[in-house]
Structure 1
Amino acid sequence: MKAKASKRPRERLRRLGGWMLWLVCWLPWPATAADAATPIRFGILPIGSAAESREQWRPLLADLEKRLGHPVTTVSVSSYAGLSGAIGDQRVDIAFLSGRLAIEAVLHQQMSVFAQFERNDGAKGNVAMLIVRSDGPIHDLNTLLAHPGRWRYARGEPLSVTGYVAPEAEVFAPRGLNSDTFFARVRVGNHQNNALAVVNGEVDVASGNNPDLDLFRRTFPDQASQLKVIWRSSLIPSGVLVIREGMEPGLRKQLMDFMLGYGKSSGPAGERERANLARIPDLAGFVPATSLVLRSFADMEYTLQRQQAQHGRWVSDAARDARLRQVEAEHRELVRQLQAH
């Protein structure tokens, strides 16, 4: 009886072990950060409408999804501020940015620059513009500036380099002017809608840039023929690609390698990829870059802030000089951080 009883615990243990083995085999393993189900969240700087931007990037992102075996979701918003908020909330893994938006992402939102846009015409950047109706009352920049309080202006958001910062830094601030007070009315929108507003007579002048104006000409050729450019900025560096520092390292490298190599191969595959790139205004591909390429944007911001301080109204010369010293110190610190990063 004792021998028979002693076998019972061993039998129960064998059965328990078999049940646990079956349970381990049946339960799914927990997904890792690099699991194929992990989505890649791609942030798209709005060019035109959010829907237009998604459609421009769709073929490239479809190739990315196929190559890496991860679903790709787009974070396509209607404003620069919306995209910045999504990046700050860690809802974006990789994004196309420019100017102040890129600086904010690198210094305060755990992103790193790894590539810069390469234009299909070989230029190293874009040019900001002011556009008017060709048959309108504004014939040139002097006509515009000669009549404060008369014209209606459509510009980009404060985070837009070509839509706001460049015209402010090179046209208005050097003359002691501020576009928000110089014009009779100011409206804020994307470059495509602002160009349409000029054509439709809703505003007298709008800011823009050469890639968006080229896109406008392709999309609305009849309307574009009614526009003319009265001012062009100095060359502004192209936008950059930034990537989230907290991504799983293996996936992060695969993603960077894909973007840097896209459109570079020969043969039919390379031709198809270059055609996909061409859907995005004036884009030929991506070249390696670091956060140091953002120095030009920082310098432009510094120039604007310094001019605004010099031409602003102050209670005393001491107050103006204090502001100038603050602008100088903030710029030095920003450059230091970019170099350290």
Structure 2
Amino acid sequence: MNAILKSMAAVSVALTITTSALAQETTINFGIISTESQQNLKTTWDPLLSDMKTKTGLDVKAFFASDYAGVIEAMRFNKVQVAWYGNKSAMEAVDRAEGEVFVQSVPKNGEPGYWSVVIVPKDSKIQTIDDVLKCDQSINFGLGDPNSTSGYLVPMTFVFGARGIDPKKCFKNVTNANHETNAMAVANKQVDAAANNTENMALIKQNKPDAFANIREIWRSPLIPSDPIVWRKDLPDATKTKIRDFFMTYGTDKSTGDVAAEKKVLEGLKWAPFRASTDKQLLPIRVMELSKSIAQAQADATLSADAKSAKIKTLTEQKTKFEAELAAASKT
């Protein structure tokens, strides 16, 4: 009898382990970075994730965090298996969270990317980016999340780093917030200027036209690659195939669903159908990150001359390496 009970117990444990393993393989927590309020993000993302669940047979669940780092860390600890990131946060996920870019979003107008912008209240006396950078500590400025490409990395590189300016020393006050919060702060004159991007401006124009009417753009960046979708590299191959097939056919003539309805879902996200991508799309962002770091090192008064020279040399070598990879990638 004891032998039978032990055998039954072993079977029970095996079934529990098997069931747990299957659940782990078929449940996908999908991370969504906090560019807007969670409610707005749920409204636009839920239809896509619902279709993903239906088409792949995977149990797809949305994962929201209060900042970009929350999604990165969740992927790092395998609490999130797939996520929508900006390029800067995707770079962090690739470097620190076993992430890998596999597809890329496409703006609905077919552009290859989007732009970071600096915005001010419509009736502001500020007319140009030079007016913002007078650095007399009279301006309240809104930066994005530190892991945001368009809200933080790009303005830090092309607006501040290029001029050797530390925002904290330049402005009366510097705050960090998501795109929607920064846009509304400008519209309501709670800050004098803020970083944002053209994609979020399109959403503000659609969802909050009165606020949009109170905003004026004064600076626009070079083109930024469109946002990637990233998965954990250790997902089972069969699961990856299901996920890749879903994204690569969604809203196209290869879809097995209602193509018109799928295109409407994508339109809500301001996107056209997805295209394949790889980690190589992050190379321009790596170059930007290193350019920003070099500028910061050059302006760092706490470093000795030798330490500063050594740090800049190392960063420049890394930048040169990525620039070469970027040049090679652009030829393929």
TM over 0.5: yes
Q: How far apart are the structure 2 equivalents of 1:162 and 1:325?
A: 27
Contact 1:95 1:241 in 2 (8 A): yes
Residues 25 and 239 of structure 2 are in contact (CA less than 8 Å); yes or no, is this contact kept in structure 1? no
Tell me which residue corresponds to 2:267. Answer: 278
Match of residue 120 from structure 1: 108
Residue 6 of structure 1: aligned partner: none
Contact 1:44 1:54 in 2 (8 A): no
- Normalised by the length of structure 2, the TM-score is 0.87
Shift of 1:314: 5.2
Tell me if 1:153 matches 2:145.
no
Shift of 1:328: 2.4
Matched, 1:143 2:117: no
C-alpha contact (below 8 Å) 2:89/2:149 kept by paired residues: no
Query: What are the equivalent positions in structure 2 for 1:325-336 lying under 5 Å apart?
Result: 325-331=313-319
Report if aligned partners of 1:173, 1:311 keep a CA contact under 8 Å in 2. no
1:23-34 equivalences in 2 (<5 Å): 30-31=18-19, 33-34=21-22
Counterpart residue number, 1:71 = 59
Match of 2:85 in 1: 97
User: Counterpart in 2 of 1:163?
Assistant: 151
TM-fit CA distance, 1:127: 0.3
1:324 is matched with: 312
What are structure 2's unaligned runs of at least 5 residues?
Answer: none
> Matched residue pairs, number?
319
Residue 44 of structure 2 is aligned with which of 36, 48, 56?
A: 56
What is the rounded CA distance, in whole Å, between the counterparts of 1:202 and 1:160 in structure 2?
A: 21
The letter for the 2-side match of 1:146 is K
2:287 and 2:322 in contact (8 A); partners too: no
Tell me the amino acid that sits aligned with residue 134 of structure 2.
A
Structure 2 distance, partners of 1:52, 1:72, is 19
For residues 76-109 of structure 1, the C-alpha deviation after alignment (integer angstroms, 9 at most, x for no partner) is 1121111111111111111111223212222332
Percent identical among aligned pairs is: 29
Q: Does 1:303 find its partner at 2:291?
A: yes
Q: Secondary structure at the match of 2:258?
A: helix
What is the root-mean-square deviation of aligned Cα atoms in Å? 2.8
Q: Which has the larger displacement, 73-82 or 315-324?
A: 315-324
Query: Is the CA contact 1:132–1:204 (under 8 Å) kept in the aligned structure 2?
Result: yes
Which blocks of at least 5 consecutive residues in structure 1 are unaligned? 1-11
Distance 2:176 2:24 in 1: 41
Does the 8 Å contact 1:116/1:240 carry over to 2? yes
Match of residue 5 from structure 1: none
Q: CA deviation at 1:313?
A: 2.4
Query: Measured at CA, do residues 137 and 253 of structure 1 come closer, stay the same or move farther in structure 2, by a change above 3 Å?
Result: same
Q: Compare 311-320 and 232-241 and name the one that shifted more.
A: 311-320
Question: In the superposition, relative to structure 1, how do residues 315 and 60 fare at CA in structure 2: closer, same or farther (>3 Å)?
Answer: closer
Determine the structure 2 residue equivalent to 1:7: none
- Give the structure with higher Rg (CA): 1
Q: CA deviation at 1:49?
A: 1.1
Contact between 1:49 and 1:78, CA under 8 Å: does it hold in 2? no
State the 1:136 CA deviation: 1.6
Amino acid at match of 2:189: G
Letter of the aligned partner of 1:263 in structure 2? G
1:212 and 2:219 equivalent? no
Does the 8 Å CA contact 1:45/1:77 hold for their aligned counterparts? Answer: yes
* Distance in 2 (alpha carbons) for counterparts of 1:49 and 1:286: 24
Match of 2:119, SS?
strand
Deviation at 1:302, TM superposition (A): 1.3
The equivalent position to 2:221 in structure 1, one of 220, 229, 233, is: 233
